[in-house]
Structures are given as C-alpha cells and as structure tokens.
Amino acid sequence: MDKKNFYDERLPFPTKQVKAPAGIVEEYIIPYDKKGEVLKKLFPFIPVPSLEHEMTDIHEEKKFKVKDFCVTREGNTNNLVSPYYFLSGGTVIDWWNEDNEVKF
C-alpha cells in the first residue's frame, strides 16, 4: 500500500497542544499572511472561499469568518477545522455556506 494514502506531511509551522473533544491535539500556529495558502491546500471543496467569507459551524450553530479557521495535527493527518472545533469537533465538512443554501 502507498503510505501517502494514510499520511499528510506536516505543515511548516510550529504547533501547540490543545484540548479537544477527542483529547489532546496539536494546533498549528499559522501566521495570517500564510492562511490563504493553507486554506487553498487543505480546503476539500470547489470553490475555495475567501478568507473574509462567513460560514456557520453546524455543531455550534455559530457563524465565523473563514480567516479564523484552525488546523490540527492528529495522528498522521492535518485537519482543517472551525474556530469552534475545540468545543464540539466541527471540521471543514461541518461548515455551512449560507450563500449556497438550497431553496425549495
């Protein structure tokens, strides 16, 4: 098996340990001027939102600016998470973009 399928390279930023719902995780300390680059690298959907775009964390039912995202290192993976991740575990798949809301 290809090791790449189970391993993300570490990002080139220092980390700090933070308590999360699943236990202690590493959080990258990303300078603001690098946030756009990191977002483009880790955001799994198209289009990639701007840093000023507003999203909602569906676990917390709270809005946030994309620029406030965090990235954690858990095991061998880098995880793009909302700023509320450390309260309730909302990762990028739990971000709701109200601009794309389906209307019936």
Side-by-side strand order, sheet with 95-96:
62-65, 54-57, 95-96
> Using one digit for the tens of pLDDT, what is the confidence trace for 37-95?
999 999 999 899 999 999 999 999 999 999 999 999 998 999 999 999 999 988 999 99
Rounded (5°) CA angle 75-79-85? 105
Number of domains forming the structure of the chain: 1
Residue 48 belongs to domain spanning: 3-100
Side-chain-facing half-sphere of 24: CA atoms under 13 Å = 3
pTM for the model: 0.87
> Using one digit for the tens of pLDDT, what is the confidence trace for 53-68?
999 999 999 999 999 9
